[in-house]
Chains A and B, each alone.
Chain A
Amino acid sequence: MRDQEVIEQITHLAGVAIERKLTQEVLRRSEAYLAEAQKLAHMSSWVWEVTGRNALYVSEEWYRVSGFDSSGGTPNWAEQLERVHHEDRVAFQAKIDRAIAEKSDYDVEFRIVLPRGPIRFIRSVGHPVLGPSGESLQFLAVEIDVTDSRQAEEERERLRQQLAHLAHLDRVSTIGELTASLAHEIMQPIGAAVTNAEACLRLISRDQPDVVEAREAALEMTRDGRRAADVIDRVRSLYQKGSPQKEFVDVSEVIREMVGMLSDEASKYSVTMRTDLAEGLPKVIVDRVQLQQALMNLMLNGIEAMRETAGELSIKSERAEDGQLMVSVTDTGIGLPAGDVDRIFSAFVTTKSQGTGLGLAITRSIIESHGGSIRAFANSGPGATFQFTLPGRVALSA
């Protein structure tokens, strides 16, 4: 019986030992997996205590992400702060301080400058661990190296600005020249056809009709009719090139871009630009370049209207009814032509000596194709306001 007990005891102990060994093995493996995963994701984790701001735990990857040498031990808070890019330091500290004070999560992005100069973009997300009386004792934090995606984003932004710049050039010179030459292209056959038609009429209404020549004139007219149609086909295919790329866009951001882009143009005519942009507006789903084009048309028109007088161009974004966003472009210029104001949105209607009459027509078609509407009205003071709405959308995924 005793032997039996001893055996059982030993078996039990052996079992515990084996089990522990197994558990340790699992734990070790899981830690190795975690470390590997962190390495792959450029993501590290650490725990720091609020008092003294000392690190209680740092993962292996943490050293790599923050660029510290693990053999030098865990750096203290001041050493870490030293690494934060000087432009980001104040914002970084403010976020951490607020998270401590409010016992809330923090999510902060900042740049760190490594000893040899390279810059890394870090996103740090922390969650407070509260003590028994509800005070925040520690923060469990994850730090992610987002340099690659940030740089890609910067590159995208640069490309987008270039694109917008091209779109701007397009509007300022190319579209203007293009439409002038198109008008010429279309007017050539139309002019010839009209003259041929008139010659044809005269030839057949003579006392002795010249049917042979009249027939020739009619033939020429058919050729010119086709030619005019071809020109229009070409224009249409030009505008249809590339299907619109719709994305969630912050209208206020696009307005700011356009203001920056047109500042030279505005100062050339002593026009000051003012913006009144509502914060936190829902985004719109639009083709960004098209929206830029629409805004640019309206803003350039406003500047154009003040070229003789100087003045102020103000651009306002706000929330309208039924989840719509409203953008108003107001100038203090020569105002609208008398009569039917909506006519100015028709193609080939222009009040400008150099105008092609396409700008507002294009703008309206862009706005309407995005489910919005546009109108123009005279200000109570001098000048005019162009106002458009677009349906605001709430992004489902961030």
Chain B
Amino acid sequence: MTSADTPLVFIVDDYARMRGAMERLLESVGLRAETFATPQDFLRRKLPDGPSCLVLDVRLPEISGLDVQRKLIEAGIQIPVIFITGHGDIPMMVKAMKSGAVEFLTKPFRDQDLLDAIQQAIERQTAVRQQQNEIQQLKERYESLTSRERKVMGLLVSGLLTKQIASRLGTSAITAQVHRGQVMRKMHAISPAELGRIAERLRLPEMN
């Protein structure tokens, strides 16, 4: 039942029985849980490639949950965070949500709320990762273009026709046609419009 694809939930809470209770709850529904008494212990842990999220108590003895969240962002560690707190503190809640927290639960929370939040966190992580993978793939494709092909792509994206590209580059229409074909094939684009969207996702500068 537990495998690398089973979401791994990290729990940071200074209250031992709360850690135990959450671990028990998550395991009762087939999730994997790993608990930490302090955020420092958690930060030392290398994060897995598989789906994971962090359930973080806002009020911790030495460093606040919000600071932990900030540290994670600064270190470029992308893990969705679910906050839990002993008493609802609205300003704190707003701050946490603005920094990208998935959910802010007030103790005592309903088990289903925590499970829903975990599911949402995993889905969000999956979506983010998928997007990152796609962009990574597009980047690799773009990097496989020759410098001339990149130029052709730029001009295509600006809306120039093959003939205009040829005259702009001082080549024959046939040659331009060949370059265009290469760009479309290497970038896996079926139309200049799709190529435009790819350029946008890669944040390529406009060319005229």
- Residues of A whose CB lies within 8 Å of any CB of B are 180, 183-184, 187-196, 198-200, 202-203, 206, 210, 213, 216-217, 220, 223-224, 353
Contact = CB atoms under 8 A, between A and B. Distances in A.
A198 B86 contact: no
B28 A224 contact: no
Contact of A190 (B24, B84, B91, B107): B107
Contacts of B59: 184
Contact of B25 (A183, A189, A199): A199
B185 interface: no
A187 B108 contact: yes
Contacts of B107: 187-188, 190-191, 194
B86 A184 contact: yes
Given A190-B107, A191-B86, A202 B21 contact: no
Contact of A198 (B15, B17, B110): B110
A199 B87 contact: no
A203 B24 CA distance: 9
Given A213-B24, A216-B24, A217-B24, A190 B17 contact: no
Instruction: List the 9 shortest-distance A-B pairs measured between CB atoms, nearest first.
Output: A191-B107, A194-B108, A198-B111, A195-B21, A199-B25, A187-B86, A192-B18, A196-B21, A199-B24
Given A184-B87, A196-B21, A196-B24, A191 B111 contact: no
Contacts of B21: 192-193, 195-196, 199, 217, 220
A67 to B, nearest CB: 64
A206 B28 contact: yes
B75 interface: no
Contacts of A210: 28
Nearest to B24: A199
Contacts of A203: 24, 28
B28 A188 contact: no
Q: Is the interface of A mostly helix, strand, loop or mixed?
A: helix
A195 B86 contact: no
Nearest to A202: B28
Contact of A191 (B18, B28, B29, B89): B18
B20 interface: yes
B25 A202 contact: yes
Given A184-B86, A189-B17, A353-B91, 12 more contacts: A187-B87, A193-B21, A195-B114, A196-B21, A202-B25, A202-B29, A213-B24, A216-B24, A217-B21, A220-B21, A223-B17, A224-B17
Nearest to A185: B86
Nearest to A198: B111
A161 B6 CA distance: 64
A184 B107 CA distance: 9
Contacts of B20: 192, 196, 220
Interface string B56-100: 000100000000000000000000000010110111000000000
Contacts of A195: 18, 21-22, 25, 108-109, 111, 114
A45 to B, nearest CB: 69
Contacts of B89: 353
Interface in B116-138: none
Contacts of A194: 107-109
5 contacts: A187-B86, A188-B86, A195-B109, A220-B21, A224-B17
B163 to A, nearest CB: 66
Contacts of B18: 188, 191-192, 195
B111 A199 contact: yes
A353 B108 contact: no
Contacts of A180: 87
Interface in B13-44: 15, 17-18, 20-22, 24-25, 28-29
Nearest to A348: B87
Given A196-B24, A217-B24, A220-B20, A191 B108 contact: yes
Nearest to B23: A199
A184 B91 CA distance: 17
A353 B114 CA distance: 24
B92 to A, nearest CB: 10
A192 B25 contact: no
Contacts of B22: 195
Given A184-B59, A192-B18, A195-B22, A202 B91 contact: no
A124 B25 CA distance: 81
Contacts of A187: 86-87, 107-108
